[in-house]
Structure 1
Amino acid sequence: MRYFQLLIVLLVLLMVSCEMEELPKSEVSKDPVFNTEAGLELYSNSFYNVLPSAQDIYLGDDMSDYIASNSIDQFLTSSYGPNQASGWSWSELRNINFFIANCNDEAVDLAVREHYLGLARFFRAFFYFEKVKRFGDVPWIGRVPSIDDTDLLYAERDSRTLVMDSVLADIDYACEHITTDSDASGSTVTKWVAYALKSRICLFEGTFRKYHDELGLQATSEFWLQEAVASAKEIMDNSSYSLNTSGDADMSYRNLFISNKPITEEVMLAVVMSQELGILHAANWKYTSPTYGVKSSLTRTFVNTYLNLDGTPFTSEDGYETMPFAEEVKERDLRLKQTIRLGDYKRIHGGQEIPAPPTFGYVLTGYQPIKWVLDDTYYDLRDYNDNSVAIFRFAEVLLNYAEAKAELGALTNEDWAATIGALRARAGITGGLDQLPDQVDSYFQTNYYPDINDPVILEIRRERGVELVMEGFRFADLIRWKRGELMKINWRGFYVPALDIPMDLNEDGIDDVIFVNQVPNPLPDVSYEFVQVSETINGEPNPQRLTNGTSGELTWLDNIPRVWTDRNYYYPIPEEDVLMNPNLNQNPGWE
């Protein structure tokens, strides 16, 4: 939907200009847009520009703890500051506020106007939610400023409570007044999408206030968590959405991410692609190019959190630390094989299936993503992907419900079975589906959340990480849980038993990779690729090493420190905006 916006806005302007031909040139009429339902619909389509693009979603977790990439994000270095900052843009808000101010023509039925006002307020809530996540306190602008409206043009930042209360009022209005309750295309905001956004907003705000005690807002966190529960429950009880379980269990999860048309049993809103219209994205190009992408790679610390199929932690097995890749991925949560290359994964080249183990030209840790990648190599060459990209899906609603209720200490066995149990059952897991967990996984707790002792909350966080991996949620989750320091976690890859011994990663009888201190020159005619893990390459530190020198886990960029302090929980306001507005104070630590 978002890719049609320029065309739609041009149509609106054309319609206005055609119907204004006989008006005096000094007058401007809003009637052609605001006095018909068709005009309101055309205008409201421009709001979709507020939503994330396909790339925003499928590359969103490149800024996270569990994705290694070919460089450190500048935000995590000492060189980042207000002069490098961005995101303080308000043009989309003006567009929405203009609509809200003028959607009052009684020539249009009241219920119709309220529906479109609900859409406008949905997008204003989305807009402000993103601003608060990024900057914290921001000015609340609820009207269109005139050219001499200095109160708004030079507005101070309003309190978090004022802004988020206003966001809640907007999304409540949207939930109540949007009349569309289904959309076969999966590309239109419905009332259920509004409830999903409300559950997302309220979970974020409730947990942020709970764990960020420096705000002094912990007493209000329960209210937001209760609102998250109620909005998610509304969808669970009264909508037609469910988890996609059709077809092979080895593909029911991945199909959500490689399907051309959104699987609307579960996908509530998506960025939809079209080969015919040339509306495409570049996920394959990003994930299968040695130069165009950033070689996004899952880390071993995170991959270790995928459960065994019997529901037990993988890290409870003896010898898991030194288990080679081909062994460690067996009998695991089926989402693992639907997220990274392993085992029998194959690609299609020239109409023929070919084995496709991890390829170190494209991956740094050995855990190579396939979640958004179409199997045919045709799509690798440019921005040819036509698979839709989900923005909201029912699985997130279940996770929001479970987490909010667990944070309130109210999650029951029945709740667990309907949410976490259902998600794990789809992934082939057989154990622990009906009962709340009562044992803490020490590996998961130690590596991720040492301050959390509740096994229920820990397991919900595990599930959220696994289910929503590479969908752009992770950084915001770490922020709200006040676990930003995980952004400094070492990037580790799979275990290499020894140098100079080829490894068969998919057990097809053909060696795939060998790790060496010196790549031979010339290269021998062999099936496998060479990866150099010596201390230096051409006199410079080698970013790719083994933890024990001649064996161990792969490391990546241990030689470059990453920085995280409390100031990183918010981005700085761009320096140019602070200079333009003397009433705008910089975020703490970024002055």
Structure 2
Amino acid sequence: MKRYIYIFLSFSFILNFIACDLEELPQATASRIAIFETASGLELYSNSFYEMLPTPYDGVFAIDDNSDLIARNNVDSRFMPNALSPATSSGWSWSNLRNINYFIENTEQSPVAEKEHYLGLARFFRAYFYFGMIKRFGDVPWIDRTIDVDDDETLYGPRHDRFAVMEYVLEDLNYAIEHISTISEPTRTLITKDVARAFKTRVCLYEASFRKYHTQYGKEGTANTWFEEVVKTADEIKGYSLVEGANAYRNLFLQKTPNSNETILAVTLDANLQVFSSRNRRTISPTYGNRPSLTRRFINTYLNIDGNPFTSDPDYKTTPFTEEVKNRDLRLGQTIRVGDYHRTENGAPIIAPPNLEQAYTGYQIIKGCYDERFPYDDESRNENAHLIFRYAEILLNKAEALAELGTMTDAEWASTIGALRTRAGIQGTTLTQKPSTADPYMIEFYDGKFTDPVLLEVLRERAVEMITEGLRPDDLIRWRLGDLFAEAPMNGMYVPALGDYDLNEDGIMDVCFYRGERPSSSQASVFVDVTSAGVGNRILSNGDSGEIIWNPGAREWLDKKYLYPIPEADFLKNPNLGQNPGWE
């Protein structure tokens, strides 16, 4: 937690000479010498950049709520009809970039021997900043210096081509990897060479896929160069391993101190500094947050423990919950409530089947959530670290790049996808041999966009391993599968008929599905009325039976939504920015 203290001091120390507007110059003060002419000053200033990382309160766990894999309450404004517009858009903020560029300009003139390390940190964060802006807005102005107040050409100039700016992002990341002096560090909370490498694999994979699948830009021929960068950089990351053992996958996300074997970068929390997360509350509370639950469409992709697809069973569509969760990939039971899952209330153990008052589909998330109810479900008091980069993602990034390049071997398969599936308890040849036949369910899952059996299995693994870690929306964008944001069904567990159901086979009825009048004879603790299909309601797909279908409200996808519109106020201030296609 020292970093949070450093950040607070950094802001207090440099507040007087950081500008607030793009056209303002940072003003030098007597503190400038203390900052830029001492190693401690450079460290203090550079710690302010960490504020750009996901916040301790929100982390990354809610990002996937806006994807095709999770059902949630309401609809995000991006996917709600007529909600997103230049008037409602946001995010065209450049204060972080000004802070970074001011630091770079002054540090380049510093006499401090270790200045290259701090310049590497600054350029990592500049790449981090620009990657976020490019994903959101596409073309952006590339600015690598502080701007004079009379520099109208820059202040009121046009945006630069996103593909050209991405080349600068890659340059910054390569510089960071070369000059940051620390390879790794035990707390996993600081930017190191390996963090820069991990981020580079994520950036390059995004860019490679974007160039390949967004064919309107005509950049398909440049995609493989970026895929190759993913593989090369992933191979440079050494000294990490997948955590093994019973419940290893779930426990990885419950630790206050991140596991240093698998974690590459984390944001940590501390009750002593009143730095908490809202993870339990946002995931479990029936009245707070998005109330996320996994969809059955996604649950079906978890393999059987023998390595075969669950969907190869001709009766999979009508398999009830208590049976469909048995003999599956062990990550399923470490991601949602299944079987004999227990929680505690003030330390006392309680049986905790899926609660359909909290989870619309019945597939209730436990990944990253404490088992203790009080006070975590009702207050934002979680202290478990948010994992930003971990070794599993590096293996997945590399595997996807190899699949896209067509160079996956059985040996590479075993060391990437096979390793992840081994930890998940999966058995069979899928651990050592790349697939030769495409799973029809996975072809349909991705709307027929992918047919290569190796790539489809990599994508299956990516979704299962990384669920709730904030990557899924970007994945759909880079693959140009935005339609799934609106068209993927918000479906839940299969219900054979109206009536009471015991979801964990303990002899106690957990939920009653009914239509019309609530049955007085039911012994269930939760009642779900499936009469009306209106917004905020659930029905069964066949009326009195079938999959739960949740209606969060109207969802819409238009291709212009691959990019956010330039906010109206910023466009009016500088019409030379232009507007993104479809938002004019």
Q: Residue 190 of structure 1 aligns with which residue? A: 192
Structure 2: how far apart are the matches of 1:512 and 1:544?
17
Correspondence for 1:278: 274
- Kept in 2, the 8 Å contact 1:85–1:572? The answer is yes
> What is the percentage of aligned positions where both structures have the same residue?
50
The question of 1:96 aligning with 2:100 is answered yes
Contact 2:278 2:379 in 1 (8 A): yes
Pick aligned residue for 1:87 from 84, 91, 99: 91
1:483 aligns with 481
What is the CA distance between 1:106 and its match in structure 2? 4.6
Matches within 5 A, 1:534-573: 534-535=531-532, 543-557=537-551, 560-573=553-566
Q: Distance in 1 between matches of 2:450 and 2:318?
A: 28
Higher mean Cα deviation, 219-228 or 28-37?
A: 28-37
Counterpart secondary structure, 1:157: coil
1:353 aligned to which of 349, 361, 364: 349
1:327 is the counterpart of 2:323: yes
Q: What displacement does 1:63 show?
A: 1.0
What whole-Å deviation, never above 9, does each CA across 1:359-386 have from its counterpart, x for those lacking one?
Answer: 1121100001111110111211211000
Q: Deviations 1:67-92 (Å, cap 9, x if unpaired)?
A: 11111112112222111111111111
> Which residue of 2 is the match for residue 414 of structure 1?
411
1:287: Cα distance to partner? 1.4
1:47 pairs with 2:49: yes
Alpha-carbon separation, structure 1, partners of 2:463 and 2:273: 35
1:533 is matched with 530
Q: Which moved further from structure 2: 301-310 or 351-360? A: 351-360
TM-score, normalization by structure 1? 0.93
Q: What secondary structure, in the 3-state scheme, does the structure 1 residue paired with 2:476 have?
A: helix
2:363 is paired with a residue whose SS is coil
Aligned position for 2:21? none
Query: What is the aligned counterpart of 2:390 among 393, 407, 431?
Result: 393
For structure 1, the residue ranges without an aligned partner over 5 or more in a row are 17-24
Question: What letter is aligned with 1:494?
Answer: M
Q: Corresponding residue for 1:446?
A: 444
Match of 2:214 among 194, 212, 215: 212
How far did residue 434 of structure 1 move?
0.7
Partner of 1:244: 243
**Deviating more after overlay: 273-282 vs 27-36:** 27-36
Counterpart of 2:229 in structure 1 is 227
What corresponds to 2:22 in structure 1? Answer: none
Checking the alignment, whether the CA contact within 8 Å between 2:501 and 2:510 is kept in structure 1 is yes
1:124-160 deviations in Å (ceiling 9; x for gaps): 0011111111111111111111222222221311012
Residue 457 of structure 2 corresponds to residue 459 of structure 1: yes
SS in 2 for 1:370: coil
User: Counterpart of 1:241 in structure 2: which amino acid?
Assistant: Y
How much has 1:568 moved relative to structure 2?
1.4
Cα gap change, 1:332 to 1:517, in 2 (>3 Å): same
Give 2:240's aligned amino acid.
Y
The match for 1:159 among 158, 161, 164 is 161
The answer for unaligned runs of 5 or more in structure 2 is 18-26
Aligned-partner residue type, residue 73 of structure 1: D
In 2, Cα distance between equivalents of 1:312 and 1:49: 44
- 1:74-153 pair list within 5 angstroms: 74-79=77-82, 80-109=84-113, 112-153=114-155
Shift of 1:29: 5.4
Work out whether 1:343 is the aligned partner of 2:336: no
Q: Is this contact kept in 1: 2:340–2:351, CA < 8 A?
A: yes
* Farther off after superposition, 392-401 or 141-150: 141-150
| Post-superposition offset of 1:527 | 4.2
Q: Which secondary structure does the structure 1 equivalent of 2:575 belong to?
A: coil
SS of 2:92's partner is coil
TM-score (structure 2 length as normaliser): 0.94
Aligned residues: 569
Q: CA RMSD in A?
A: 1.9
Counterpart Cα distance in 2 of 1:81 and 1:213 = 25
SS in 2 for 1:30: helix
1:38-82 superposed Cα distances (whole Å, 9 cap, x missing partner): 000000000111112242401010110111111111211222211
Q: Deviations over 1:300-336 (max 9, x none)?
A: 0001000001110000012110111010000111111
Give the match for residue 361 of structure 2: 365
Task: Determine the structure 1 residue equivalent to 2:66.
Answer: 63
Are 1:283 and 1:383, in contact at CA under 8 Å, matched by a contact in 2?
A: yes
The aligned counterpart of 1:267 is 263
Native 8 Å contact 1:128 1:167 kept in 2: yes
Partner-residue secondary structure (3-state), 1:354: strand
Once the two structures are TM-superposed, the CA of residue 6 in structure 1 deviates from its matched residue by: 4.8
Given that 1:5 and 1:48 are in contact with CA atoms closer than 8 Å, whether structure 2 keeps it comes out as no
CA contact 2:63–2:469 (8 Å) conserved in 1: yes
Structure 1 residue aligned with 2:20: none
CA distance in 1, matches of 2:87, 2:249: 42
Aligned partner (choices 197, 200, 203) of residue 201 of structure 1: 203
SS in 2 for 1:392: strand
Give secondary structure in 2 for the equivalent of 1:75. coil
Q: For 1:26 and 1:398, locate their aligned partners in 2 and report how far apart those are by CA, in whole Å.
A: 45
Write the distance in 1 (CA, Å) between the matches of 2:30 and 2:353. 62
Measured in 2, the distance between the counterparts of 1:181 and 1:169 equals: 19
Aligned to 1:348, the other structure's residue is in SS state strand
